[in-house]
Chains A and B, each alone.
Chain A
């Protein structure tokens, strides 16, 4: 009976862990997407200084998400977003093409977000 109780407890723990980690990943990705929109808005408004500041915040937010997220997500999924956030900050400062980078970043964050939501297409 101890084994059955222990198994039930472990399963319950795994379910809770998956729900909590999923909710955290979804929430964090959404926050990062909002931050990228803010960078784009500031950039389009011609406020380069504000866009740079927000891009730095975006990179910081990503860094603080990436470390614990590496426990749950494959590192190659995170590596590409890591590169894009670095490029966004660089391009905001140097005046390069920013919008395609931000669009790609949002797209990758959306992919990351939907990968943890159990839907038929993600499960199957």
Chain B
């Protein structure tokens, strides 16, 4: 029993390492090769786990090899368009200029229900609203609405665009997040000044976010209403 427990722990570490090695690409939409690797890795990992007759190495070697192949193939994929086309296929246009291309739909084995479901997931409830739709290599559908159906932007109504960097979490559970502080140019002195202005001691901070313009949000460990300071606020 303890052997199985230790093997489970080792395989857990190995699978986590493998997923991390494949990178964030793996955690989002899956490319065909990534889907195959994910299924294979999960299957191989169970073999030495349930059968102690199989050495752990026999399970670990193919997992590591497959993941390394995948990383190297994705590297080649980046370097060669032809290789990428062979490995991942190419996006297919299913609606162009508001016209559905039935031949492409048939080629993709995409039914009308599939098309409507994909459009609905993009908040489009009728194909007439669509100017352009593409089935990506991951199988997801990207939709461009007709300009008449599109939402207004600041530019459309003549508002000047506001460009601002997002706030960063600089304190979590009383602990400073140095990397985040550096990214918004916040040093210890400025942080102490912000906390003083907010009237909250550092040890009392549960979460604090700050932006490069002097604004911050502070939530206390003891609860209660959070403190909000806008950039340029003196109080």
Residues of A within 8 A of B (CB): 3-4, 6-8, 10-11, 14, 17-18, 70-76
Contact = CB atoms under 8 A, between A and B. Distances in A.
Interface stretch (B60-68, B117-125, B171-179): B60-68
Given A7-B71, A10-B68, A71 B57 contact: yes
B75 A71 contact: no
Nearest to B61: A14
B16 to A, nearest CB: 15
A76 B54 CA distance: 9
Could you say which of B23, B58, B71 has the most chain A C-beta atoms within 10 Å of its C-beta? B71
A71 B68 contact: no
Contact of A75 (B53, B68, B69, B72): B53
A14 B53 contact: no
Contact of A3 (B21, B52, B57): B21
Interface in B34-87: 52-55, 57-58, 61, 64-65, 67-69, 71-72, 75
Contacts of A8: 68, 72
A73 to B, nearest CB: 7
Secondary structure at the B interface, as helix, strand, loop or mixed, is: helix
Interface of B: 21, 23, 52-55, 57-58, 61, 64-65, 67-69, 71-72, 75
A17 B60 CA distance: 12
Contacts of A72: 55, 57-58
A73 B61 CA distance: 13
Contacts of A76: 53
A81 to B, nearest CB: 15
B55 A3 contact: no
A84 to B, nearest CB: 19
B21 A7 contact: yes
B53 A3 contact: no
A5 to B, nearest CB: 10
A86 B58 CA distance: 27
A7 B72 contact: yes
Contacts of B61: 14, 17-18
A4 B71 contact: yes
A70 B3 CA distance: 14
Given A3-B21, A4-B75, A14-B61, A74 B68 contact: no
B71 A3 contact: yes
Nearest to B53: A75
A11 B65 contact: yes
A3 B23 contact: yes
Contacts of A74: 53-55, 58
Across the A-B interface, give the 3 residue pairs with the lowest CB-CB distance, nearest first: A7-B71, A7-B68, A11-B68
A10 B17 CA distance: 12
A7 B53 contact: no
Nearest to A70: B55
Nearest to B22: A3
A11 B70 CA distance: 11
Nearest to B55: A71
B72 A11 contact: yes
A99 B11 CA distance: 44
22 contacts: A3-B71, A7-B21, A7-B67, A7-B68, A7-B71, A10-B68, A11-B65, A14-B61, A14-B65, A14-B68, A17-B61, A70-B55, A71-B55, A71-B57, A72-B55, A72-B57, A72-B58, A74-B55, A74-B58, A75-B53, A75-B55, A76-B53
